[in-house]
């Protein structure tokens, strides 16, 4: 492992030591706030130091030992963050879990990690754990933060954190050097935290991350975006997610900035406006929800307001992102944008609580280009990063001024990224997980002998050295020419049109890419009616010449975009057909979550694939289908097969 080349910060290299240092150097500054009963309560670094010590002392009194695991379950609460540090002080391993997980899911982790102690937020979690304890008696203590509704719980193993901290104070009173001695025994190579990932297959695995790896990721990230002790953040993401751990815990302790815990899940938007964070992190769905809420309010507004909003949003769409990137924009547009900033974008940023945001990141899933551009165009410096639990969410970051919609940026400081022959993204870094807990087989599977972690994602570097993630590595194939074939990427591009419901691309081991389509009967049906094209049903409509022309247009548009990328130029769709029936989960063609079952479709419609590649212009097909009432029947049709225009690659054009 690459732990030798740590970005060292002296010998302050564990989280408890970082906390002690802040308590000493900036003891009077605010470390954390929580909104409670409508008021922001705050704790200074010195106070947090004392709270953590009391908690650690109490845990030790109850019998928590070096190497023990501590489950932490609940919303973002100061004491739950302190619990992480408290466990680390004693050389234990905190294991945050998702607060909305069912008892059975918690049960698995409790057993897998051999957990004896749990610190939880409230009655809801206590109830779940009491249920778990009936089957996992190894759980010795359930300690809670919020006493509401727990007054009558008389079980001796259910205790309040107040009581535990009292115990701790007693212990420290008798043995003042106790905590300091424990902290001194901690080593940077110790496991600092264990985060469970669901993974795509199989049971969740515990990802063990050392102090040194997490601190390296945090230091690298802070340096990259020049984050200092003056930042304010709002911590509202699940504590069990690596993103929150890096953002609200590791980076906060490294940079010494202030963490703010919202009052409840419902109040995040209000709390955000009150705090005005300077640094912000959210998965794409949060950005999407925020935008939706804003749009609903705009649509409710008076006509004049609405008109002004849409006018200036058009201006922002034209030039906002460019202005943020510092590119050259005409003086007229600049003036309009400045006016829009006063009238629309400024108030909008304020409503979103992002007036002071200097750096915002999104990660965890691909963000829609429109959504991404919206935030950038109103002057919010939203960027993407790429990482996973195993890599401490720290692989690639977008640099200020070098933002592209479809890449995730350049490798972060201290991270080496290379692309395997299969197209898979491999990562070697000083911020790498140590192992999967008790799963050497799984660890060996993802970590090769040279120390590269196999991300399972396929991607490539574009001309500017920015990483572009295109697909899951296991779905990526190779064309006969040796070029990369990323079916999901191609299909997503094709499905961008509202007229196309489903697309299935073929090309692995072939000379060219061909595709099946399902049209969207709603959208295309409407379109046909407006044009007075009569049709009797899906099968009939799908075979209309006009509909083929419509689909061809979409295909050619996608081809033009694919041609721009040298790595994907060979993936342009040459021939296609529109299926005579909609792919259906009842016919096993789709999964219940509506993902195409590629292998099954390929086998079932082999005759159509042969026709696509043999140059025929039509093919007869008859298919057994199940109707909704349970009867089965047959659908048959003569399917047209058409060709689409393809484009020379950008590189080829330059050469010519």
Q: Which two structure tokens, joined as six digits, stand for 371?
A: 């959504």
Part in contact with another protein (CB under 8 A); list of ranges 91-99, 150-158, 243-251, 314-322: 150-158
Least Å from the CB of residue 245 to another protein: 26
Least Å from the CB of residue 431 to another protein: 37
Element (H, E) at 124: helix 123-135
If one asks whether residue 301 binds another protein (CB under 8 A), the answer comes out as: no
If one asks whether residue 149 binds another protein (CB under 8 A), the answer comes out as: yes
| Residue 382: closest CA among 242, 522, 282 | 282
**Which residues from 235-294 bind another protein, rule CB under 8 A?**
263-264, 266-267, 270
Element (H, E) at 171: helix 161-174
If one asks whether residue 299 binds another protein (CB under 8 A), the answer comes out as: no
Considering only residues 303, 331, 365, 656, which one is a binding residue for another protein as defined by CB under 8 A?
A: 303
If one asks whether residue 130 binds another protein (CB under 8 A), the answer comes out as: yes
Considering only residues 11, 28, 137, 152, which one is a binding residue for another protein as defined by CB under 8 A?
A: 152
Considering only residues 5, 8, 24, 39, which one is a binding residue for another protein as defined by CB under 8 A?
A: 39
Closest CB to another protein among residues 300, 441: 300
If one asks whether residue 302 binds another protein (CB under 8 A), the answer comes out as: yes
- Draw the binding track, 185-204, toward another protein (x: CB under 8 A; -: no contact): --------------------
3-state SS assignment for residue 333: helix
Closest CB to another protein among residues 302, 655: 302
Residues that bind another protein (rule: CB under 8 A) add up to a total of 19
Closest CB to another protein among residues 130, 286: 130
- Note the Cα 284 to chain centre separation in Å: 7
If one asks whether residue 492 binds another protein (CB under 8 A), the answer comes out as: no
Least Å from the CB of residue 151 to another protein: 6
Strands 279-282 and 359-362: parallel
Sheet holding 453-461, edge to edge: 415-419, 424-429, 453-461, 467-472
Considering only residues 37, 296, 449, 656, which one is a binding residue for another protein as defined by CB under 8 A?
A: 37
Cβ-Cβ contacts under 8 Å for 403 (sequence gap 6 or more): 321, 325, 376, 383
Closest CB to another protein among residues 146, 225: 146
| Residue 108: closest CA among 84, 152, 139, 86 | 139
For tokens 């918690």, the residue is 106
Q: What is the DSSP letter of 596?
A: B
Beta bridge partners of 206: 196
If one asks whether residue 444 binds another protein (CB under 8 A), the answer comes out as: no
Quick one: the chain helix, strand, coil %, rounded to 5? 40, 20, 35
Considering only residues 40, 153, 157, 535, which one is a binding residue for another protein as defined by CB under 8 A?
A: 153
Closest CB to another protein among residues 273, 356: 273
CA 280 – CA 264 distance, rounded (Å): 18
Least Å from the CB of residue 264 to another protein: 5
* HEC string for 218-285: HHHHHHHCCCCCCCEEECCCCCCCHHHHHHHHHHHHHHCCEEEECCCHHHHHHHHHHHCCCEEEECHH
Q: Which two structure tokens, joined as six digits, stand for 27?
A: 């003891």
Part in contact with another protein (CB under 8 A); list of ranges 1-9, 33-41, 165-173, 249-257: 33-41
Q: Which two structure tokens, joined as six digits, stand for 1?
A: 């492992």
Closest CB to another protein among residues 274, 288: 274
If one asks whether residue 38 binds another protein (CB under 8 A), the answer comes out as: yes
- Note the Cα 188 to chain centre separation in Å: 27
Q: Which two structure tokens, joined as six digits, stand for 284?
A: 């794409």
Closest CB to another protein among residues 37, 365: 37
- The residues binding another protein (CB under 8 A) are 36-39, 127, 130, 148-149, 151-154, 263-264, 266-267, 270, 302-303
């Amino acid at each position: 492992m690459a732990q030798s080349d740590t970005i060292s910060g002296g010998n302050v290299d564990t989280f408890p030591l970082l906390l002690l240092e802040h308590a000493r150097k900036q003891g009077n500054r605010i470390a954390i706030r929580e909104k409670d009963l409508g008021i922001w309560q705050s704790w200074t670094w010195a106070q947090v130091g004392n709270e953590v010590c009391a908690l650690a002392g109490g845990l030790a009194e109850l019998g928590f030992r070096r190497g023990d695991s501590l489950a932490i379950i609940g919303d973002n609460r100061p004491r739950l963050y302190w619990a992480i540090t408290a466990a680390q002080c004693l050389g234990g391993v905190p294991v945050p879990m998702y607060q909305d997980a069912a008892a059975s899911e918690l049960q698995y982790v409790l057993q897998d990690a051999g957990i004896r102690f749990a610190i939880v937020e409230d009655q809801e979690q206590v109830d779940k754990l009491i249920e778990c304890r009936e089957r996992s008696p190894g759980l010795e203590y359930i300690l809670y933060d919020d006493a509401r509704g727990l007054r009558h719980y008389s079980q001796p193993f259910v205790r309040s954190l107040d009581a535990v901290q009292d115990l701790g104070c007693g212990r420290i009173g008798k043995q003042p050097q106790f905590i300091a001695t424990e902290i001194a025994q901690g080593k940077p190579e110790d496991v600092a935290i264990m985060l469970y990932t669901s993974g795509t297959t199989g049971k969740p695995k515990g990802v063990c991350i050392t102090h040194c790896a997490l601190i390296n990721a945090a230091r690298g990230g802070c340096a990259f975006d020049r984050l200092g002790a003056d930042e304010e953040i709002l911590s509202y993401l699940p504590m069990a997610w690596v993103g929150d751990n890096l953002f609200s815990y590791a980076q906060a302790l490294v940079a010494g900035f202030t963490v703010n815990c919202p009052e409840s899940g419902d109040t995040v938007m209000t709390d955000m406006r009150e705090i005005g964070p300077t640094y912000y992190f959210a998965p794409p769905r949060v950005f999407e929800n925020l935008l939706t809420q804003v749009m609903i309010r705009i649509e409710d507004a008076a006509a004049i307001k609405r008109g002004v909003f849409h006018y200036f949003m058009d201006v922002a769409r034209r030039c906002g992102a460019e202005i943020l990137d510092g590119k050259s924009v005409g003086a007229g547009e600049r003036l309009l944008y400045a006016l829009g900033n006063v009238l629309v974008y400024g108030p909008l940023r304020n409503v979103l609580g992002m007036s002071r945001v200097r750096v915002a990141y999104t990660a965890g899933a691909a963000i829609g280009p429109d959504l991404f551009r919206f935030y950038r165009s109103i002057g919010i410096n939203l960027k993407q990063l790429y990482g996973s639990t195993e890599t401490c969410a720290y692989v690639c970051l977008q640099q200020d001024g070098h933002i592209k919609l479809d890449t995730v940026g350049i490798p972060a400081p201290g991270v080496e990224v290379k692309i395997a022959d299969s197209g898979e993204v491999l990562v070697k870094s000083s911020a790498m997980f140590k192992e999967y807990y008790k799963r050497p087989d799984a660890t060996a599977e993802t970590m090769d002998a040279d120390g590269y972690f196999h991300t399972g994602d396929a991607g490539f570097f574009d001309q500017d050295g920015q990483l572009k993630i295109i697909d899951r590595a296991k779905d990526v194939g190779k064309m006969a020419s040796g070029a990369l074939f990323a079916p999901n990427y191609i299909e997503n591009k094709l499905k961008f049109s509202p007229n196309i419901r489903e697309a299935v691309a073929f090309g692995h081991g072939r000379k060219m890419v061909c595709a099946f389509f399902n049209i969207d009967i709603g959208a295309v049906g409407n379109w046909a009616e407006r044009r007075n094209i009569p049709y009797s049903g899906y099968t009939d409509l799908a075979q209309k010449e006009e509909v083929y022309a419509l689909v061809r247009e979409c295909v050619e548009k996608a081809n033009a975009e694919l041609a721009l990328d040298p790595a994907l130029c060979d993936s342009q769709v040459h021939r296609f057909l529109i299926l005579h029936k909609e792919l259906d989960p009842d016919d096993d063609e789709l999964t219940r979550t509506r993902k195409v079952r590629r292998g099954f479709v390929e086998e079932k419609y082999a005759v159509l694939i042969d026709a696509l590649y043999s140059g025929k212009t039509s093919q007869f097909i008859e298919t057994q289908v199940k109707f909704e009432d349970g009867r089965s029947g047959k659908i048959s049709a003569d399917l047209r097969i058409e060709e689409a225009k393809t484009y020379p690659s950008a590189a080829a054009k330059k050469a010519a």
